[in-house]
Amino acid sequence: MEKSICSTPPKSKAMKREFDASDNEKRYQDNLKIVKQSLVSAIESRDHVAFAKIIETQIHVTTCSGRKIIQKVFMKACHAGDINIVRFLLRKGADVNEASSDDITPLMAAVLSNSFDTVEFLLECRATVKTQIKPTQDSVLHMALKRGFRHSNVLGSEKWDPKFFIDTKIIKLLIDNGALVNQKCADGYLPLSLAASSNRDAVITHLIKKGADVNGVDSKYGMTPLMYAAIAGNVYIVRQLLKYNADLDITDKWDYTAVMLAAQFKKYLVVLALIEEGADVNKVSGFDGKSALILATECNCCDTINILLEIGADVNYRKPIHKRGTTALMIAAKNGFKEAVESLLYYNADVDLRDEDGKTAVYNIMEKSDCSTPSKSKAMKRELDASDNEKKYRKNAKSVQKSLFSAIESRDHVAFAKIIYTQIHVITCSCRKIIQKVFMKACEAGDINIVRFLLRKGADVNESRKGMTPLMAAVLSNSYDTVEFLLECRAKVKTQTKPKKDSVLNMALKRGFYDSNNIGSEKWDPSFFIDTKIIKLLIDNGASVNQKCKDGYPPLSLAASSNRDAVITHLIKKGADVNGVDSRYGMTALMHAAIAGNVYIVRQLLKYNATIDILDYGDYSALMLAAQLKKPLVVSALIQEGADVNMVSGFDGKSALILATESNCCDTINILLENGADVNFSKPFNKRGTTALMIAAHNGFKDAVDTLLYYNADIDLRDEDGHTAVCLSLNTEIVEMMNMSLVKKCYNIMEKSLNSTLHKSRALKREFSASDNDKCLKDQMKYTMENINAAIERGDHVTVANIIGTQIRRTTYYGKKIMKQAFIKACLAGDSRIVCLLLRNGADVNEASIEDFTPLKAAVLSNSYQTVELLLECEASAKTPTKPSQDNVLHVALKGGFHPSLVIGSERWDAEFLTETKIIKLLIDHGASVNQKCANGYLPLSLAASSNRDAVITHLIKKGADVNSVDSRYGMTPLMHAAIAGNVYIVRQLLKYKAAIDITDQWDYTALMLAAQFNKPLVVSTLIQEGADVNKVSGFDGKSALILAIESYCCDTVNILLENGADVNYRKPIHKSGTTALMIAAQNGFIEAVESLLSYNADVDLRDEDGNTAECLCSDSEILELLNM
């Protein structure tokens, strides 16, 4: 008895919960059921905290049943579209491609949830989109396209329920990620046919561009996408397919063409569109001998009958005798279709023809007299007999148009559709005009639903009205979605409708412009500006970037004048000429930017090689225009780039200094004089011969006179009338100043002794005499800084603009210092409007603070995507740290929420402070170095792996991050950091990209050993499956993965290692204490670990370096009992 007991090794309590379930199966199953219900309930209520708690405390994720629960719950989370729970479960080992019992994959479940974010995340996690689970099943693309489909014999548009449609963005995402566009679904339909049938306009073009065959036929009815579009009655899709060379004359299995199907299903607009493209109206089916006219007559669609007869359909065509030999007239007469009979008789249908039974059409008519006299159809009378009651007809048309306009204004789509269907005959000429007018009105209102509806009803996307195209109307509505849709529908952007009209791009850029002689920034009203995204969209779709508007301005000049910072770079990258001149004033974009006073745009244009000294029609350079219009910051920027300060206009003989003096801008005068402007330059005598001093004295500009005298302006120079500056001045104080200067010049009073205290201008005293009242100046600076900081904190950009305009002299040292501090503060606040304002006023996008803190780093810490994007568009550098010992901007972003410690496991991160993933991806896309170590020695990939940034990992690797590089702090690879964090998904991703599994860190530990040490059993299991060595021993301390797992008392890890061949009796070298796993477990009182080790035949007799066995080291009576057994 004793022998048999001893021969059966005891199992651990952890294992008993799984493998001894047979003893109390009912209790075990009930427990599982409760856990599942709790998890499902947490998913439905979106209670992420409760969900995580259940997973961590009630599920053994390494067991078979635990994994099954995880996978089922993962499917449920995908179906609910809860991206947070989906992400959490992937980290816990859920398989992104494992199908459920009913062959639904997680990606399919996410698609059915209609959650774009969840679908996108799963695709980033390598969810497969290419094939069906089984040949008889739908792929994920088919499932997405078929959502909302009610099965019937033919899948016309009335068989779809749009409220169940999958988001178009999701379908496009699947296509972009490699979904097969020519693979048939389980019912035999092609993706293009499904899209055409369900009126998915935006999807059609996307499928074709990705290689969908426009002439592919389904295996159910032998029909092409064109036929399905014809049945659905969607004129726009029909035109799109024909544009991409869809074959008009392919026939289905009943030998019907697209025009015949359109006639059969009462789609007269499609019939008209197909006939215009050359469809054969007299084609006859070889299956049943029917023509399009007979099919139209059978369904009693008089509109289609009229169209076919007008185009030349054979009114007397008779089916073959063996097909009954009937004509259209016989069918109409037999079925009592009175209007159809009238139309056919009007087109000379022969009433004497007989069918196979010898019956004529008259035979089937009860009241022959009613239809024996040819008359015109009522449908045609509404158009052709309008002359009889013209007034009444026009009044009715006006009323209908007014009702439609009213429905558009109130956005009442139901009422609008009802009017179109009941009161408008869209095949008539007058009604087509109404449709086009209403279409223009819908574009103007930016109502994408009505725009889409009218395009299906035959509205022309490029027909202009009074020089205005639908695209122009949509742009003026400022509706991005409507503009995007029209461009997808092939709306033209390249040319003007008339030579004297603006193109759509010029119209977009000129919105908000008040016409005047000069187009400075004060001539624009930003409240009327067109959305920058719309302008970029027009440029990306081929708008001509060098075509001048009717006023003669090129697009780049309009953008520069209106301070459209983001548009400038986009235009230049698309080929806009930076040195192109307008035909109105001969000015370049640089000149317009100078007039607007936008320093950032000036710098951008100079960066792209704008010529600095080109002259306009007035012979003025950009510098001279900036001086004339009081733009000192622009003057300073242009001088730094090499602009000539002494250039003179050949038109009026003025220099930049004279222009600055005329506008009385002392800041500009100071900058010009500091940079070598000739203070005594006088205009030629034929231009009056005046100097800057004469102009300032004559106009009473006291500060300007003061400044010019400080720079030794000559008061003895005379103009063409012989007048000096003193003669021209009417201001006694100015005369006294000049006389005093003359006395000093004549007698050289105290020149040497008082050289340091020479009279300085009042303008300069505010900056350079600060030493006389240093405390006052500092207090003023402090007060200004406090005000501007308070305004930034409130987000009050009006007050910030006021302070900059009235309290800060931006050209002075202290002014620049305040501006720099305010700019960093605005970036840190993430206020893109204030950031934009400061950039226009000369803030440097790459200038670091005293602590080497750049504006881009500040914006990243604000977690404001919009601000980061703006700074990057303004050429903020994302590539290198300001100092070698500092973090670059990518490190700052990745380390957001990190609490430094010895090891950067996931518990060291505060998820609340993590930087937004979109921002990190944006930095990577803008050239941030993906292999540069941070100040602590960590690599970007290691930081991302440690902080569970799943989406960032793949992005970094694709941009060249080295998966096997080691950090300089612990010699650890990204795989090791992922193992410590316990993220199974990231571990799998890194291994997929060839991460080496057995690299060791500075303690000679592998990723497996670290996972064992940090209680990460799922990672341990994954690494072993990928071939990690379970018996690898550290050369540093002699420990194996099993010993590390025992030390951290993780029984799950111990069991996994032992199941996979870990040496249960491995003993550390004698000089490392020579202990075994059993000794450590016994000494520390780990009873479950002892049970597990004994169940795998651990040797109880082995001794350590002191000669102690496990029994000697143990003080726990229960463990001693186990060891003795």
Highest mean pLDDT among 52-56, 91-95, 622-626, 755-759: 622-626
Highest mean pLDDT among 798-807, 890-899, 1044-1053: 1044-1053
The pLDDT, as a whole number, for residue 577 is 94
The pLDDT, as a whole number, for residue 902 is 44
Q: pLDDT digits over 274-284, tens only?
A: 998 999 999 99
Are 75 and 95 a contacting pair, CB within 8 Å?
no
Binned at pLDDT 50, 70 and 90, residue 614 comes out as very high
Domains of the chain with CATH codes = 10-128 (1.25.40.20), 279-381 (1.25.40.20), 385-480 (1.25.40), 500-527+546-767 (1.25.40.20), 1000-1125 (1.25.40.20)
Are 567 and 597 a contacting pair, CB within 8 Å?
no
Class of residue 272 by CB neighbours under 10 A (exposed 0-12, middle 13-18, buried 19+): buried
Judge if pTM exceeds 0.75: no
Mean pLDDT of 663-678: 91
Where is average pLDDT lowest: 35-39, 279-283, 714-718? Answer: 35-39
CA distance 839 to 601: 9
CA distance 492 to 471: 8
Mean pLDDT of 862-879: 86
Mean pLDDT of 745-750: 51
Are 986 and 965 a contacting pair, CB within 8 Å?
no
CA distance 190 to 213: 9
Q: State whether residue 101 is helix, strand or coil.
A: coil
Mean pLDDT of 966-982: 92
Angle at 148 between CA 147 and CA 150, to 5 degrees: 115
Are 594 and 626 a contacting pair, CB within 8 Å?
yes
Using the Cα atoms of residue 788, residue 790, residue 794 and residue 798 in order, give the sign of their dihedral.
negative
The pLDDT, as a whole number, for residue 732 is 76
Class of residue 608 by CB neighbours under 10 A (exposed 0-12, middle 13-18, buried 19+): middle
Binned at pLDDT 50, 70 and 90, residue 455 comes out as confident
Binned at pLDDT 50, 70 and 90, residue 332 comes out as very high
Q: Which two tokens stand for residue 740?
A: 């005093």
CA distance 207 to 225: 12
Distances (CA, A) of 916 to 211, 869, 881, 905, 1121: 35, 13, 21, 20, 56
Binned at pLDDT 50, 70 and 90, residue 296 comes out as very high
Where is average pLDDT lowest: 456-460, 505-509, 541-545, 683-687? Answer: 683-687
Are 1056 and 1077 a contacting pair, CB within 8 Å?
no
Where is average pLDDT lowest: 130-139, 596-605, 935-944? Answer: 130-139
CA distance 523 to 529: 12
Where is average pLDDT lowest: 360-364, 371-375, 1050-1054? Answer: 371-375
CA distance 991 to 642: 55
Q: Is the pLDDT of residue 599 over 80?
A: yes
Q: Is the pLDDT of residue 367 over 70?
A: no
Distances (CA, A) of 514 to 185, 189, 507, 583: 58, 56, 13, 18
Q: Which two tokens stand for residue 128?
A: 């497969």
The pLDDT, as a whole number, for residue 769 is 47
Are 979 and 903 a contacting pair, CB within 8 Å?
no
The pLDDT, as a whole number, for residue 545 is 92
CA distance 244 to 204: 11
The more confidently predicted of residues 480 and 772 is 480
Mean pLDDT in the chain?
83
The pLDDT, as a whole number, for residue 491 is 87
Q: Is the pLDDT of residue 264 over 80?
A: yes
Where is average pLDDT lowest: 420-434, 748-762, 1063-1077? Answer: 748-762
Q: Is the pLDDT of residue 369 over 90?
A: no
The pLDDT, as a whole number, for residue 324 is 75
Binned at pLDDT 50, 70 and 90, residue 6 comes out as very low
Mean pLDDT of 80-97: 88
Binned at pLDDT 50, 70 and 90, residue 390 comes out as low
